Each structure stands twice: as C-alpha cells, then as structure tokens.
Chain A
Amino acid sequence: AQKVTQAQTEISVVEKEDVTLDCVYETRDTTYYLFWYKQPPSGELVFLIRRNSFDEQNEISGRYSWNFQKSTSSFNFTITASQVVDSAVYFCALSEAGGRDDKIIFGKGTRLHILP
C-alpha cells in the first residue's frame, strides 16, 4: 500500500533558526516520485520539489534542502535560516509510476510557524 506519514503535526521556531520537516513513505513500486508542496493561507499548493526514486542525491535550492534516503524510506526537508514568510503548511507526497493513473498521495501536512 502507498502511504505518506508526516509525524510532525505542528512546529514553531523562532526566525533564523533551522527547521527540518520529516517525511516517511511506503510503496511497493520500484519507480516512484516524491514531492514537497507548500500551502500558504491562501490555499494554493505551491510546488517545491520532485524527486524520482533513482535519484538519491540530496538537493539544495537557496535556503531549502532535501535529504532523500531510500534505506529508511524518508524524504526530509530542511529550511535554513527560516523567515516569517516560510510560515505555511507543508505537504510531502508520493506518486507511483506503475499505475494507470499518476495520482499523488499526500501526507497530512506539517503546519510550520515562524515566529518573529
């Protein structure tokens, strides 16, 4: 069965602190994709990153970095030097490549509060 677990429901940190959002996934497919999305209060889903299962290289984009570890089925997201504008709900998600459709399975999200 495919599943995404974000154990942290809510996190609060003071501005400029680093924060890591955890994500653990389950899938039987050997080919799959992992995603992170940001959802600000406006509700729109903002795409942050997509990773396929064959690419375990960590990625850095500005203050954002992602750590993909197949051995532990984890795809964690770190924000360095957090800013108030980073406050949002963040979703980790999974899509298997073997099915007829490419539905995305989302975790329940982590609500991140960056305090000034």
Chain B
Amino acid sequence: ETGVTQSPTHLIKTRGQQVTLRCSSQSGHNTVSWYQQALGQGPQFIFQYYREEENGRGNFPPRFSGLQFPNYSSELNVNALELDDSALYLCASSLVPQEQYFGPGTRLTVT
C-alpha cells in the first residue's frame, strides 16, 4: 500500500509568483489536510478537504487555495508569493478522524 506522496520535493520561487503543490493521498483516504511549517515552528493547519469540498480552514489569507480531485488527491495553490511563505508544506490524508498520515513534505523557498 502506497503512503502519502508529495511533489515536488523542493521548489524555489520568486516573490510575487504563484506555486502549486501536489499531494497523493493514501489509498482509500477521502480527506486531505495541508499544513505549513515555518523554520523552527510547529506545523500550522491551512485547510482540509473532504470528498472534494473544503471542510475547514485555518488562519491563512485567501491567496492560499486548494482543490481535491475525485481520486482524492489534492493541490495547494499559493498566489502572490511572499518571503514569509518559505516553509515546509505538509500534506496528510485520512479516512478516520484523528488518524492523519503525513507525507514527506515539499520545501518551498521564496526569494
């Protein structure tokens, strides 16, 4: 059984650009959550998708948006990148509440 995968592994973008991060959920998992982990901090909840609908959102501006596809994979889009968006972005999938399985993350650097 394949676990949660994320792509790309690393990414470098320039301030003002847009970025799309991808996450493939574990087989059968219908819920995907995204987290941002800035350097030296704990992960912070961005939003969650359940069966293609946004199911909850943390304290992030609208330029952070997401999508979940019928196969339950997901994308995180960030527009108008800022230097503070540099972070490790973690995706987690789940089928049962409170049983989230995390992917390896995408490290985004904004210059």
Bound-state Cα–Cα, A109 to B39, Å: 11
B42 within 8 A of A: yes
A55 within 8 A of B: no
Complex contacts, A104 vs chain B, CB 8 Å: 33, 35, 43, 45, 92, 100
B72 within 8 A of A: no
A105 within 8 A of B: yes
A28 within 8 A of B: no
Between A43, A47, A95, the greatest number of chain B beta carbons within 10 A of the residue's beta carbon is seen for A43
Bound-state Cα–Cα, A47 to B90, Å: 14
How big is the B interface, by class? 20 to 34
- A33 touching B98 by the CB < 8 A rule? yes
- A97 touching B98 by the CB < 8 A rule? yes
How big is the A interface, by class? 20 to 34
A103 touching B56 in the complex, CB below 8 Å, given contacts A33-B98, A45-B90: yes
- B43 touching A45 by the CB < 8 A rule? yes
- B88 touching A43 by the CB < 8 A rule? yes
Bound-state Cα–Cα, A115 to B55, Å: 44
Q: Which residue of A lies closest to B48 (CB)?
A: A101
Complex contacts, A107 vs chain B, CB 8 Å: 42
| Stretch of B20-28, B63-71, B76-84, B102-110 contacting A (4+ beta carbons < 8 Å) | B102-110
A97 touching B97 in the complex, CB below 8 Å, given contacts A43-B107, A45-B102, A103-B58: yes
A50 touching B99 in the complex, CB below 8 Å, given contacts A43-B107, A44-B105, A102-B94: yes
Q: Which residue of A lies closest to B43 (CB)?
A: A106
Q: Which residue of A lies closest to B56 (CB)?
A: A101
Bound-state Cα–Cα, A91 to B35, Å: 14
Interface string of B28-39 (1 = CB under 8 A from A): 000101010000
Please, could you name 21 A-B residue pairs with CB atoms under 8 Å apart, sorted by A?
A42-B104, A43-B88, A44-B105, A45-B90, A47-B101, A91-B42, A101-B33, A102-B33, A102-B94, A102-B98, A102-B100, A103-B58, A104-B43, A104-B100, A105-B45, A106-B42, A106-B43, A107-B42, A108-B40, A109-B40, A109-B41
